[in-house]
Amino acid sequence: FGLRGILVEEGSLTKRAPSKKEWEDIRYGWEVAQEIGRLDIGQCVVVKNRVVVAVEAVEGTDEAIRRGGALARDGAVVVKRSKPQQDLRFDLPAVGPTTVEAMSSVKASVLALEADRCVLLDREEMLRKAEQAGIAIVGLPRDANR
């Protein structure tokens, strides 16, 4: 698509890596996000202790994070990936500094994104804010749970 450099790459994007417990939530959220995408509901879920506390719908990612984070209190994991049927020529999942600001405001701890299918808007600013807030950001391959 000619988008190299703005797409999420596979691996850790921040100095802090997710803990073992956070990885459990990432893996669980990865499956749930796949299903809500398949049903054309949204692209993002917020998880804490393997419990889904928010599912993105029409309100968008940042509002789902705020809603889920308010329920989780702190340490929530945010997972965002493309819908299985999504036409990436016209509609790419995107995150940016406001996503990290929403996460920071509710003390969410991890943002897991689909590598090569999710855009980082204002990448440097986003990663700087994540580092300041202690938020881990990771890029996962589409088939991460296989």
Average pLDDT over all residues of the chain: 93
Global pTM value: 0.94
Q: Cα torsion at 37, 123, 126, 77 (round to 10°)?
A: 30
SS3 content of the chain, % helix, strand, coil (to 5): 35, 20, 45
Q: What is the pLDDT of residue 146?
A: 55
Query: Own/partner pairs for 54-61, CB < 8 Å, 24+ apart?
Result: 56/80, 61/95, 61/99, 61/102
Pair of tokens at residue 29: 């959220």
On whether the CB atoms of residues 45 and 55 are closer than 8 A, the answer is: yes
Identify the segments of the chain with pLDDT beneath 50. 1
CATH number of 11-140, picked from 1.10.10.10, 3.40.140.80, 2.60.40.10, 3.30.420.40: 3.40.140.80
Q: In what order do the strands lie in the sheet with 11-12?
A: 11-12, 136-140, 110-114, 77-80, 44-48, 51-55
Pair of tokens at residue 81: 């990936």
Listed by start position, the domains of the chain span: 11-140
Q: What is the pLDDT of residue 1?
A: 46
Q: What is the pLDDT of residues 84-114, one digit of tens each?
A: 887 776 778 899 999 999 999 999 999 999 9
% of the chain beyond a pLDDT of 70: 95
